Amino acid sequence: MKKKNLKNSTPFKIFAFVSSFVLLCITVISIAAAAFMVEFDFYTRPLDALKSSANRRLAQEISYELADHYENYISDLKNLASFESKVSELNTSANWRYTIKGDESFSNYKGEEAFNYNFYQQVYVYGDDSQNVSGEFKGYDITIHVLKNKKATDQFSFCEKIIGILYSLRFSIYVVFLLSISLFAVCIAFLIISAGYKKQDDEIKLDFFDKIPTDIFTALLFVVGFLNYIVILISLEISAALLIMSIPVLAFIDYTSIALYIKNIVIKTRLESFISDLFVVRFFKWLFSPVIRFVKRENSNRRTVIIGLSVGLVLFLLISVDFENGNYLPKLILAGITAIIAFSYFIVRNNKMAELVDTSEKIKNGYFQSTVNTSRLYGEMYTLGCNLNRINDGMKIAVSDKTKSERFKTELITNVSHDLKTPLTSIINYTDLLSELNLEDDRAKEYIKVLSRQSQRLKKLTEDLIEASKASTGNIKINFEKIDVVELVNQSLGEFAENLENVHLTPILKTTSQSIFINADGKRLYRVFENLFCNIVKYSQEGTRVYIAVEERQDRVYISFKNISRDMIVVTENELTERFVRGDSSRNTEGSGLGLSIAKSLTELQEGDFKIRCDGDLFEALLIFKRL
């Protein structure tokens, strides 16, 4: 069972993303808490002093609020009762009491055990214009009594709880910060590494957000930020509670947007398409594509060159004549229109010619699906386009006929080989039976040996024909797996050691590493090595050395077999890999002439390259595979 890769797991990515958001929030909160504690001396002051300082700050805010209310009601002494009622509303179910002393005094303090905080506030008392009484500032002593036994839930009890929690975490908050930021970095690193990978796929796949050009995505981020600003303003106008509830939602939306933006940049960078996928770049490429195609053309049509030079001369004359008399504006407009028309014609004509040349190049290289769109051509270019399409159609028919002919030959060889197997099997069986008889005639025994040897040779030829047919048509199942090619070469060399020794050949193996791995079919690759060793045994000069090398070069593995040929090599390198071609033109040795052809077909089926090199009597077979 294939082990599941976490970078391809969508649930794990979602978990890592949500975890990174939570960890970022914890990191920000821990930084804010640490800064707050440093600011208010949590590390040098006792807990009671910190609570007292916080109570004084809250009490001072309350004194400001009381002074503001008093200033609103004191202008009319009849409203003092309304003021006292309003202040009582502020003080309902709270852990504090108040005492105001001045021209008038108010208090709801009943002697409870409390911390007392005294403040002096000035209140402006408006005058009475009808009685010529002007307004003036009056001072009042305001005492806020914060109860020691806090039974209600208000800002004082809440603040004391927060201070108590922060005080208990004043040292461990740094451990929380380090853990949260470390785990956050791990989550971000995983999300960056796994960006673009989907289930059961090791290739990067683009989703909807990845396909958005990065510059457009940047503009969308600014839009999201502006919408957040609008939502915050509206929430402030409605209520503080709505603002508090909207902040986490907005934060998560912003974080998601930024994460998708970074993912977009990472994937575009990994695919090396960051610049080319920008909307601005695409737009200018589209806008100037005719000009770019024209500039890339190495050869220009003579007629368009003449037209361009003529237009340039006309423009020069139009601009230069009567320039000093001030009548140049109409001439400039006319010159500009003429230049645009001529330049457009110049570019369009050359681009049409470029399309014809490109299509002809594709047809020359065997891409017969390419056709010329003649609907936008005219004149001789239209004729040329039609002729190219007719040539293309003729080439398609010729290639199709050639392919059918090759397929018919292959099927014929396969069918004949299969038909030969049944009578050949009978011949071999009856030959074996005759060899088991006690024949006294020596000539009969010799005939039986010849018959047995030749029938076995015919059997091998039939099997090679079938295998060559399957290999050339790709009708063989390839089971790719991780193969140690050095080990497989050693195994093949060991099995052919006796055969090599019989013809006095000395094998020399050279490798750049003890283990070199490729992705191939072990059974088919062994068949390739077997054919090459058989070829070496049959055609090598006795008493010479055979060099086998397995080398790593960058991302490729090179496997070479070199030997000295016994006979002069009179055929070309390409002909040696064709079927029924043998190195000895006299055909005195046993063999079908299919070994190298089968080896080449099997190598190519395993996504490798098979090459033959001949230098005098030196014969080399080279196999090239991609290294794992």
Q: How does DSSP assign 291-357, residue by residue?
A: HHHHHH-SS--HHHHHHHHHHHHHHHHHHHTTTTTTTTHHHHHHHHHHHHHHHHHHHHHHHHHHHHH
Are 481 and 520 in contact, with CB atoms under 8 Å apart?
Answer: yes
Per-residue tokens: 611: 């090459």
pLDDT of the residue at 318 = 59
* From-to residues of CATH 3.30.565.10 in the chain: 478-626
How do strand 545-553 and strand 556-564 relate by DSSP bridges? antiparallel
Indicate the pTM of the whole model: 0.46
HSE of 116, CA atoms in CB hemisphere, 13 A: 11
Task: Region of 480 please: left (phi>0), alpha (psi -120 to 50) or beta.
Answer: beta
- Give φ, ψ of 519 to 5 degrees: -100, 105
pLDDT of the residue at 437 = 76
SS3 content of the chain, % helix, strand, coil (to 5): 60, 15, 25
Per-residue tokens: 561: 């077999």
Are 563 and 537 in contact, with CB atoms under 8 Å apart?
Answer: no
Query: How many angstroms separate the CA atoms of 57 and 64, rounded?
Result: 11
pLDDT of the residue at 320 = 59
pLDDT of the residue at 561 = 94
pLDDT tens-place string over residues 144-184: 888 888 887 788 888 888 888 888 888 899 999 999 999 99
pLDDT of the residue at 575 = 67
Query: How many angstroms separate the CA atoms of 108 and 99, rounded?
Result: 7
pLDDT tens-place string over residues 459-476: 776 776 666 666 666 667
Q: Which of 476, 465, 464 is nearest to 603 (CA)?
A: 476
Query: How many angstroms separate the CA atoms of 454 and 430, rounded?
Result: 14
Per-residue tokens: 331: 């001439």
Q: Which of 108, 107, 95 is nearest to 147 (CA)?
A: 95
Angle made by CA atoms 453, 455, 459, in degrees to the nearest 5: 115
CATH (residue range 478-626)? 3.30.565.10
pLDDT of the residue at 551 = 92
pLDDT of the residue at 347 = 67
Extract the residue ranges of the chain whose pLDDT is less than 70. 1-5, 70-93, 125-135, 199-202, 289-332, 334-336, 338-339, 342-347, 350-351, 366-369, 375-376, 378, 405-421, 461, 464-475, 573-575, 577-593
Neighbours of 557 (CB within 10 A): 23
How do strand 136-147 and strand 618-626 relate by DSSP bridges? unpaired
